[in-house]
Amino acid sequence: MKIGILNYNACNLASIYHSIFRIGYDPIIIEEKDQFKNLDKLIIPGVGAANSCLNYLKKKKLFDEVDNFLKKKKPILGICLGLQIFSKKLHEHGLSDGFNFIDAEVVPFRDNKINIGWSELIIENNNKWKNLDLKSFYFCHSYYLKFLDSKDIKFCHGFINFHEKVPSLIVKNNFMGVQFHPEKSQTNGNKFIENFLNWEPKID
């Protein structure tokens, strides 16, 4: 299996790389558009600012490659900012247009609060994720996903409570997005990454 980790010039590459390597795979760092060829799964790490991330992806002509990968129904894992950029609009460091895949916008917490530390993931929507016994994960973010229309709320399978109800596990077709950092969540995170690598998406 060929696994790619997208580099957008600000993300946390080393931690996610070593997490995958320890599982038994040798992922490649995606920096150019021709590296998407024959890729089976794509991971988009967190850590960074939305505006800079999206501008970099467009400048390097990687934005369209990610969009094409998504439309080909190949599995994508978006972590933290890697989840948020699949929304419609992002408000971090100015207004940015995301991939418009999730009917949501990314907004700051009230009073500029920052969520840093371990939180228990609350699983909802009666489905297979109810069996997820790995519920404690590490979070580090000051912006969160806010749904704009009820039609996409059904794709939220887990959340935390941090002054707001924060969507933290989104699964829509071949896209899986998490607000937490599995690569920093020790044993729970490693098992979650392994679950993604073994995941076969159900396409609606």
The pTM is what?
0.94
Helix boundaries (H) for 36-185: 50-59, 63-71, 81-84
200: amino acid identity, one letter = E
Radius of gyration of the chain (CA): 16
Listed by start position, the domains of the chain span: 3-197
183 is catalytic: yes
Give the best-scoring range by mean pLDDT among 110-119, 121-130, 171-180, 181-190.
171-180
Indicate if the pLDDT at residue 37 is higher than 70.
Answer: yes
Helix, strand, coil percentages for the chain (3-state, nearest 5) = 30, 30, 35
**CA neighbor of 192 nearest in space, from 181, 203, 202, 200:** 181
Catalytic residue among 53, 92, 157, 181: 181
CA 184 to chain centre: 14
Q: What is the pLDDT of residues 64-98, one digit of tens each?
A: 999 999 999 999 999 999 999 999 999 988 899 99
Respond yes or no: is residue 93 known to be catalytic. no
What tens digit of pLDDT does each residue of 38-60 get?
999 999 998 888 899 999 999 99
Q: Does the annotation count 80 as an active-site position?
A: yes
CATH fold, domain 3-197, is: Rossmann fold (3.40.50)
Residue-wise pLDDT for 134-186, tens only, equals 679 999 999 999 999 778 999 999 999 998 899 999 999 999 999 999 999 99
Say which of 53, 80, 92, 141 is annotated catalytic.
Answer: 80
